[in-house]
Amino acid sequence: MSVNVQIPAGYVPVYTRPRSLSEARFTYCPGCHHGIITRLVAEAIDELGIQERTVGVAPVGCAVFLYEFFRCDFAQAAHGRACAVATGIKRANPELIVFTYQGDGDLAAIGTAETVHAANRGENITVIFVNNQVYGMTGGEMAPTTLPGMRTVTTPEGRDVRATGYPLRMSEMLAQLDGPAYITRQAVFDVRHVQMAQKAIIKAFQNQLEGKGFSLVEIVAACPTNLHLPPAEANRWVVEQALKYFPLGDLKVRD
């Protein structure tokens, strides 16, 4: 923690900044759920004590700077290719704990094939899938998970499902496959859900440690900037709108 504050005697730490996070400031917008999720991944790495053997695969999108936020080795994947890059790393050195961290455009639009086939192979990797229903980094375009009627810069009149189709439920799709060991959909719009999401992310990494195969944690998240809502209201929007299309819960658990 770069803050050098004298902690008065008698106080013990309850929550401190995850060790596997670097000193770099997050580049996410104020209130962006990416920041919470990035922190949860770091907490899981700390919890399992795997920082020195973890390799992350960063996407192209709002989390493109992920490698700057962690004290782990990282690979920067081309847009959509993280699951293929992760496959290459894992196959080359199965001792490494490999995770990808991808947005909805990265994983469910351009990277659909790489995601589906990594899942179908039961690739022993951990995938963190941040579904905030928009392309944030590039200025708020429609994503495969954009809700019907939802305004984005490429659906100025609201998403017309007849022209662009329906929100894509990747977790349900992947849960049909035999390959994956764990597919779950979580959220981080309040503390209770943050705690549940943390448990799910730890489980997804634990599965990899135990060689159980492909684990994916989808997190229905908010992009306050492109929702044009203050962070607290964006969180409410997740509950009132997004969860209608993306129900939370485990979709596949293989023990």
Partner 1 sequence: MKVLMRGNEAMAEAAIRAGCRCYFCYPITPQGELVEYMARHLPRHGGVFLQAESEVAAINMVYGASAAGVRTMTSSSSPGISLKMEGISYLAGARLPAVIINVMRAGPGLGNIAPAQGDYFQATKGGGHGDYRLIVLAPSTVQEAAELVMLAFDLSDRYRVPAMILADGMLGQMMEPVELPAPIPPEKIPPKPWALTGAKGRAPNVASSFDLDPYRFREILRALWQTYREIEKNEVRWEEYETEDAELVLVAYGTMGRICRTVVRQARKEGLPVGLFRPITLWPFPYEPLRKLAERVPVLLTVELSSGQMWEDVRLSVEGRAKTPFYGELGGVVPTPQEILSEVKKYVR
Partner 2 sequence: MPKGLVIIDKERCKGCGLCVAACPFGVLAVTSELNRYGYNVAKATAPEKCTGCAMCAQMCPDAAIEVYRMAPAKEGV
Provide the binding-site residues for partner 2, judged by CB under 8 A: 1-3, 5, 7-8, 10-18, 21, 25-26, 28-36, 38-39, 42, 190-191, 194-195, 224, 230-232, 235
What mask of x and - would describe binding to partner 1 in positions 40 to 59, judged by CB under 8 A? -----------xxxxx-xx-
Closest contact distance (angstroms) between CB of 72 and partner 1 is: 6
Closest contact distance (angstroms) between CB of 176 and partner 2 is: 33
Residue 232 binds which one of partner 2, partner 1, none, with CB within 5 to 8 A depending on kind? partner 2
User: Would you count residue 85 as binding partner 1 (CB under 8 A)?
Assistant: yes
Contact 53, 35 (CB under 8 A): no
**217: which residues sit within 8 A by CB, 6+ positions away?**
126, 127, 128, 129, 184, 185, 186, 197, 200, 201, 204
Q: Could you tell me the CA-to-CA distances from 3 to 13, 23, 97, 107, 139 in Å, in that order?
A: 14, 11, 31, 36, 33
User: Would you count residue 117 as binding partner 1 (CB under 8 A)?
Assistant: yes
- Give the whole-angstrom CA distance, residue 84 versus residue 57: 10
- Give the whole-angstrom CA distance, residue 68 versus residue 177: 34
Residue 5 binds which one of partner 2, partner 1, none, with CB within 5 to 8 A depending on kind? partner 2
- For partner 2, the closer of residues 160 and 240 by Cβ is 240
53: number of CA atoms within 13 Å, CB side? 12
Among 37, 44, 63, 96, binds partner 1 (CB under 8 A): 96
- For partner 1, the closer of residues 54 and 186 by Cβ is 54
- Give the whole-angstrom CA distance, residue 51 versus residue 55: 8
SS3 of residue 95 by DSSP: coil
Give the amino acid at 105.
G
Residue 153 binds which one of partner 1, partner 2, none, with CB within 5 to 8 A depending on kind? none
Structure tokens at 189: 């719009």
Give the amino acid at 231.
P
Residue 93 binds which one of partner 1, partner 2, none, with CB within 5 to 8 A depending on kind? partner 1
Among 9, 92, 163, 191, binds partner 1 (CB under 8 A): 92
- Give the whole-angstrom CA distance, residue 92 versus residue 124: 12
Give the range of 92-100, 133-141, 176-184, 222-230 binding partner 1 by CB under 8 A: 92-100
- For partner 1, the closer of residues 96 and 170 by Cβ is 96
